[in-house]
């Protein structure tokens, strides 16, 4: 995510916002964000939202996601919002929204749904 120039702008339990400023590396010739960047920050927002409801040191992986590209991804920056819908012992399901933000105007440009799996600390060697 950092490699795109994106950063977390808001964290609450079960909800994380990620902001991706417009830069030549993530936009096309007409200033639209690449679909790849839109999807990447949506996926990341869901991943951090999933983590936000687990104890420190937990880790998750995206199992799958589905995203609808609703409108051209245009703006000073994109803002992705990941929200936990259900968090279980093994699987977490999040909804994903991405907004194009231009000054005061905020347009929904993509929405999606994501399934994540919590990694077993004993198997991954992660320290809980």
Q: For residues 11-40, which are near a second copy according to CB under 8 A?
A: 25-26, 34-37, 39-40
Supply the minimum distance, in Å, between the C-beta of residue 70 and a second copy: 5
Q: Is 108 left (phi over 0), alpha (psi -120 to 50) or beta?
A: beta
Supply the minimum distance, in Å, between the C-beta of residue 71 and a second copy: 7
- 8-16, 74-82, 86-94, 98-106 -> range binding a second copy (CB under 8 A): 86-94
| Residue choice 13, 30, 56, 90 for contact with a second copy (CB under 8 A) | 90
| Residue choice 70, 102, 106, 126 for contact with a second copy (CB under 8 A) | 70
Instruction: Output the CA–CA distances (angstroms, integers) from residue 106 to 34, 73, 76, 99, 119, in the order listed.
Output: 18, 11, 10, 6, 35
Two tokens, residue 96 = 């994903």
Instruction: Name which of 4, 96, 3, 6 is nearest 49 in CA terms.
Output: 96
Tell me: does residue 119 bind a second copy (CB under 8 A): no
């Amino acid at each position: 995510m950092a490699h795109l120039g994106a950063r977390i702008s808001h964290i609450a339990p079960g909800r994380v916002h990620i902001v991706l400023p417009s830069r030549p590396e993530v936009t096309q010739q007409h200033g639209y964000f690449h679909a790849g960047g839109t999807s990447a920050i949506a996926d990341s927002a869901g991943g951090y939202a999933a983590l936000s409801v687990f104890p420190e040191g937990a880790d998750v992986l995206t199992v799958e996601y589905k995203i609808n590209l609703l409108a051209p991804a245009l703006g000073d920056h994109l803002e992705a919002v990941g929200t936990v819908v259900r968090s279980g012992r093994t699987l977490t399901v999040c909804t994903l929204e991405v907004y194009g933000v231009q000054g005061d105007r905020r347009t929904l440009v993509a929405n999606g749904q994501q399934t994540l799996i919590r990694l077993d600390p004993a198997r991954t060697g992660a320290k809980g």
